[in-house]
């Protein structure tokens, strides 16, 4: 792998452009991924925030769902943010009846756990693998209800709103956040993911 890993951003719906910019700032060659052959050409993948049910349906439509599940099983490093966390979760609370996920993370996630768009909020928090406080932006965000034995909790809410709720996790080559690290021009969370990519 080159010093600048090639990282794809699943470009079906959501914050694609923002993730491409953050990954580039963090030291990656970032590209959009819409087709299986594009997925096969990357060193890692980001599943962005957006609408988890819409992204899931589009992944099926573009024949990407099974290739996505396959690369997760084979150990491709993947970062899921907000809706991406929902899509990587093995179990969902409050999902739609027909909702499908990529899976791979041994967690239960509550979809839209903090409420509707009007309930969006921001909070500074500590995150394992990131030096200094992270300004986390939560927009119709999920949170992790419980984790399996192989899952490391990277961040939980502190004082203020809903203290103790888990908002960032890692399991092997998979990493996920409830919040949107691509918002606000701080690429440190993406940099932490690239450290994982280079060590994988």
140 is in an annotated binding site: yes
Q: Is 139 annotated as a binding residue?
A: yes
Please enumerate in sequence order all residues whose Cβ is within 8 A of that of 105, keeping only pairs 6 or more positions apart, or say none: 80, 85, 88, 89, 90, 151, 169, 171, 174, 176
Whether 51 has a binding-site annotation, put simply, is yes
Pairing, β 78-81 against β 44-47: parallel
Q: Was 50 annotated as part of a binding site?
A: yes
- Rounded Cα gap, residues 22 and 27, in angstroms: 9
As a three-state string, the secondary structure of 87-123 is: HHEEEEECCCCCCCCCCCEEEEEECCCCCCHHHCEEE
Catalytic residues: 82, 180, 182
In terms of DSSP H, where are the helices of the chain? 16-26, 36-39, 52-61, 65-73, 83-88, 188-199
Residue 63 carries which DSSP code?
Answer: T
Q: Which residues are annotated as a binding site?
A: 50-52, 111, 139-140
Q: Which residues are annotated as a binding site for L-glutamine?
A: 50-52, 111, 139-140
């Amino acid at each position: 792998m080159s010093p600048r890993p090639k990282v794809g951003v699943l470009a079906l719906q959501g914050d694609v452009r923002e993730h491409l910019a953050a990954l580039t700032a963090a030291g990656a060659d970032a590209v959009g991924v819409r087709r299986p052959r594009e997925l096969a050409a990357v060193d890692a993948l980001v599943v962005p925030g957006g609408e988890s049910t819409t992204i899931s349906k589009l992944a099926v439509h573009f024949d990407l769902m099974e290739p996505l599940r396959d690369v997760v099983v084979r150990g491709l490093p993947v970062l899921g943010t907000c809706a991406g966390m929902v899509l990587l979760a093995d179990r969902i609370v409050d999902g739609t009846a027909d909702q499908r996920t990529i899976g791979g993370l041994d967690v239960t996630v509550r979809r839209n756990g903090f409420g509707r768009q009007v309930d969006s909020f921001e909070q500074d928090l500590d995150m394992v693998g990131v030096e200094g406080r992270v300004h986390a932006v939560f927009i119709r965000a999920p949170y992790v209800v419980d984790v399996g034995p192989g899952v490391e909790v990277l961040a939980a809410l502190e004082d203020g709103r809903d203290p103790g709720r888990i908002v960032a996790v890692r399991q092997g080559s998979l990493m996920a956040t409830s919040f949107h690290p691509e918002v606000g021009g701080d690429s440190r969370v993406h940099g932490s993911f690239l450290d994982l990519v280079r060590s994988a």
